[in-house]
Amino acid sequence: METILSPHSFCPLLNPKTSSPKSLLSASLQPRSKSHSTTKPISCSLKKQLPQSINQSLPIPKTWFSHVQHGLAALALSLALNFCPILNSGSAFASEFDVLSDGPPEETYVVDDAGVLSRVTKSHLKRLLSDLESRKNFHINFITVRKLTSKADAFEYADQVLERWYPTIEDGSNKGIVVLVTSQKEGAITGGPDFVKAVGDSILDATVSENLPVLATEEKYNEAVYSSAKRLVAAIDGLPDPGGPQFKDNKRESNFKTKEETEEKRGQFTLVVGGLLVIAFVVPMAQYYAYVSKK
């Protein structure tokens, strides 16, 4: 019984180190007095194993904390994507300087820097202007910008774009540039010699003074651009001028009455007040007289 319950018989189970049969045998033959002194290593081994079992149960709060960190990171990313504007690449959201350096658009006829044109308008412009180029060999580009910082007005900027995009007369003779500045509600049209001759000065001036500024003032930018394109195409094709919108007379009528109306109203008011005063005094006196006469 002593050999079976001796602490050294359990040591191979508690200690990962392997023990030889000879050491086991010697441990089992030791007297009882020495077996009490060997109980400390067993208790020490148990104390060392206890923190390991506790550490194995601690990953739960650590895993919960990592989930919270991932959730906060996802929330921050979602807020950043929702509230921070993401600018699309390409000429649609370029600056006025990028418009100059990027050159004319290859697939479309529009550089919408201001971002005010719809997809439908761009599609209609592409269809209309591509048909004009295939029939008459005239190429027209439309540019919208929010504001100008490099040039004083839209005409100077339009001339700068034409010279930068088409530096030679051969390249720019049949080209036209239409610029619309949304913040200033103004526009400009320029082009090469053949383009100006085909459209005519009267149509150019009318488009700049009617279609672009009038509709831009009403913030109808899609209609301003598309109506200008149809007017230029009709002039090149030799068709009648469809005309353009006119500035509306926003003159408001005055709410103040004229002098004659005031005098007329004053006379009527005096007559009504006088009649009420007469009634207020005469009627009580007549009643009193009738009452006294009966007595």
Report residue 166 as tokens: 């088409």
Report residue 148 as tokens: 């100008």
* Exposed e or buried b per residue across 191-204, where buried means at least 16 C-beta atoms within 10 angstroms of its C-beta: bbebbeebbeeebb
Better pLDDT: 81 or 157: 157
Strand blocks (E) in 78-138: 110-112
259: left (phi over 0), alpha (psi -120 to 50) or beta: alpha
Q: What is the edge-to-edge ordering of all strands in the sheet holding 186-191?
A: 110-112, 139-145, 175-181, 186-191
pLDDT at position 251, please? 44
Nearest by Cα to 228 from 171, 170, 166, 154: 154
* Exposed e or buried b per residue across 90-103, where buried means at least 16 C-beta atoms within 10 angstroms of its C-beta: ebbbbebeebbeee
Q: How much of the chain, in percent, has pLDDT values that exceed 70?
A: 62
Res. 259 pLDDT band, cuts 50 70 90: low
Distance separating alpha carbons of residues 228 and 210, to the nearest angstrom: 9
Q: In which residue are the tokens 């739960």 written?
A: 60
Q: In which residue are the tokens 């009267």 written?
A: 202
DSSP structural state of residue 88: P
The identity of residue 82, as a single letter, is N
Bridge partners of 187, per DSSP, are: 180
pTM value?
A: 0.54
Better pLDDT: 39 or 94: 94
Res. 258 pLDDT band, cuts 50 70 90: low
Mean pLDDT of 160-186: 94
In this structure, the dihedral spanned by the alpha carbons of residues 263, 268, 273 and 278, taken in order and rounded to 10 degrees, is: 130
Strand blocks (E) in the chain: 110-112, 139-145, 175-181, 186-191
Strand blocks (E) in 22-151: 110-112, 139-145
pLDDT at position 110, please? 95
Q: Tell me which fold the domain 95-237 belongs to.
A: Diaminopimelate Epimerase; Chain A, domain 1 (3.10.310)
pLDDT at position 193, please? 95
